[in-house]
Structure 1
Amino acid sequence: MDRLTPFFERFSLTARVFYSGRLCGSTGNHDSEFAGHLHVLKKGKLKIIQPNARQIVIDIPSIVFFPRPHRHRLRGPEQDGAELVCATIEFGAGMLNPLIASFPEPLVLPLDALPELAPTLRLLFSEAFSESPGRQAAIDRLFEYVFVLLIRSAMNARLIDSGVLIGLSDSRLGRAIEAMHKHPGTSWSLEQLAQHAGMSRARFAAHFRRVVGVTPFDYLTNWRLAVAQTMLRKGNSLKLIAPAVGYANATALSRVFTQHLGLPPSEWLAHSQIQTTPTGS
């Protein structure tokens, strides 16, 4: 199993393209509760306007990724416009997905820095600016593939300087993180995790926090709760979920869940189910 597989097993990836073409002027606010946004600028100049943050100006072909729900607007020049394609990305953005938490807000990368994406982006632009039958389904799936390639590139090229992507790229920490991902129900001790990494307990704990940004047990707790969230969405009972994610019973899991997420599991599930992924216009 490769190191990214557990994320795609635990979190459902869905992309929905909501804009393609030449943007002249401003869009409305792009905002959501459970989705991020991925914008691909093919040509032109683009301004990104965020509340209480500096304006970002991009004048070369680039990817702009808002990994978490974040209000922003886009503006293209009134005359020439900006050619771009935009999609919402649902990948556990409203959940404790540590992969999403690794990315800065926003991530801006020139397309020249991502040569491995070039063939897929050519297909994406070709489909996006056409009126071919099945266009929406094609560009949605292509955007999902672009997202996977973006994560792969970020990990392999170390485009991000902290978080689980960097941890997975570390030959020692990666083994311990993989073990947590595969077996969230195990009663892990610091010594057992350090053994997977081939390090002493003290060196492992310090190195993990320095690279990933949290302690090993904080990361393990977040991963367990993320798995619990996914299982809840699939209709599993707390009684079934608790041992699968390392808790003695449903009461223990509910207590930790509420402490970290501010809502008991039943209320969190009800809230997540009434939300729909917006089209972002």
Structure 2
Amino acid sequence: MDRLAPFFEQFTLSARMFYSGAFCGISPNLDEQAGYLHVLKEGRLTIAHPNARPIVVDTPSIVFLPRPHEHRLHASEEERTELICATVEFGTGMLNPLTASFPEPFVVPLDALPELAPTLELLFSESSSDYPGRQTALDRLFEYVLVLLFRSAMNAHLVDSGVLLGLSDDRLSKAIGAMHKQPEISWSLEQLAQISGMSRARFAAHFRKVVGITPFDYLTNWRLGVAQTMLRKGSSLKLIATAVGYTNATALTRVFTRRLGMSPSDWLTRSKPGTVKNQS
């Protein structure tokens, strides 16, 4: 079973490279309504956030900001800093539990990710070229880097909690996979525990400890994330409610509004390009 496949089926992943090469000075304010992926090839980089202490990265690393997060990059001329940067869209403004698993920012040294080395080598090589199709090649390579990063974070337990850690647990992953596959089912704690091969009490406690929320909170978030995707595709509330386990459109709207602070129609209006607000 591909444990990551449901996320890519529900949320569209796209990246756009916007900078590559030597860097010194201070960047413009990076405040797109998207995530960011910075790959530091060499040198020293300072990431400054409003109302937060600066983060200094002084070894080749990936810096992933999974949610819209205003920041600036600083580097001195003496540091000989070289990096490649991209914006990342992966369910921005939606309840995507995969990106919610990551801290803000997520910094990991490149030498801790040996499985990414061949792809990063391609990324570095393409960024220093002037071949036709360079922008498209770099965009697709950044997307692949992100897929590999998700895979490594799950397999190597690079995050402390969240669904990625849950998916790395052989027992919990069975229940999470069942919820992903059939959000329309009225899952009971007993059913989910049985799928995981655990007692009800042990399953509930273990799920909360590993994933960080209760099984039913996770199920609700997943259902609403699926509902958001269907809303963007133009599905009716009646059809969406049935698909994600609610008896009718009114029940779905009530849960949606309680969780996100606005009705489905209001969310859809605000989620159009240029108006997306982060809700993860």
Instruction: Give the Cα separation in 1 of the matches to 2:220 and 2:85.
Output: 34
Instruction: Give the Cα separation in 2 of the matches to 1:79 and 1:5.
Output: 44
| Deviation for aligned residue 1:276 | 7.2
Q: Is the 8 A contact 1:23 1:81 kept in 2?
A: yes
Q: How does 1:177-192 map to 2 (within 5 A)?
A: 177-192=176-191
Instruction: Give the Cα separation in 2 of the matches to 1:213 and 1:25.
Output: 39
Q: How does 1:5-44 map to 2 (within 5 A)?
A: 5-33=5-33, 35-44=34-43
Q: Which runs of 5+ in 2 are unaligned?
A: none
* Match of residue 255 from structure 1: 254
* Match of residue 215 from structure 1: 214
CA offsets 1:113-162 (integer angstroms, 9 cap, x no match): 00000000010011112111100000000000000000000000001110
* Match of residue 83 from structure 1: 82
* Match of residue 234 from structure 1: 233
SS at match of 1:273: coil
* Match of residue 153 from structure 2: 154
Instruction: Give the Cα separation in 1 of the matches to 2:249 and 2:141.
Output: 40
Instruction: Give the Cα separation in 2 of the matches to 1:93 and 1:202.
Output: 34
Instruction: Give the Cα separation in 2 of the matches to 1:80 and 1:60.
Output: 11
| Deviation for aligned residue 1:275 | 2.2
| Deviation for aligned residue 1:177 | 0.3
* Match of residue 45 from structure 1: 44
- Call closer, same or farther: CA 1:73–1:168 in 2, change over 3 Å: same
Give the aligned residue type for 1:267.
D
SS at match of 1:199: coil
Instruction: Give the Cα separation in 1 of the matches to 2:185 and 2:82.
Output: 49
- Corresponding residue pairs, total: 276
CA offsets 1:146-197 (integer angstroms, 9 cap, x no match): 0000000000000111000111111111100000000000111111111111
Structure 2 length normalisation: TM-score?
0.96
SS at match of 1:108: strand
Structure 1 length normalisation: TM-score?
0.96
Q: Is the 8 A contact 1:46 1:76 kept in 2?
A: yes
Give the aligned residue type for 2:109.
P
Give the aligned residue type for 1:32.
E
* Match of residue 136 from structure 2: 137
Identity %: 72
Give the aligned residue type for 1:24.
C
SS at match of 1:40: strand
Q: Is the 8 A contact 1:29 1:71 kept in 2?
A: yes
* Match of residue 71 from structure 2: 72
Q: Is the 8 A contact 1:25 1:81 kept in 2?
A: no
Q: Which runs of 5+ in 1 are unaligned?
A: none
Q: CA RMSD in A?
A: 1.1
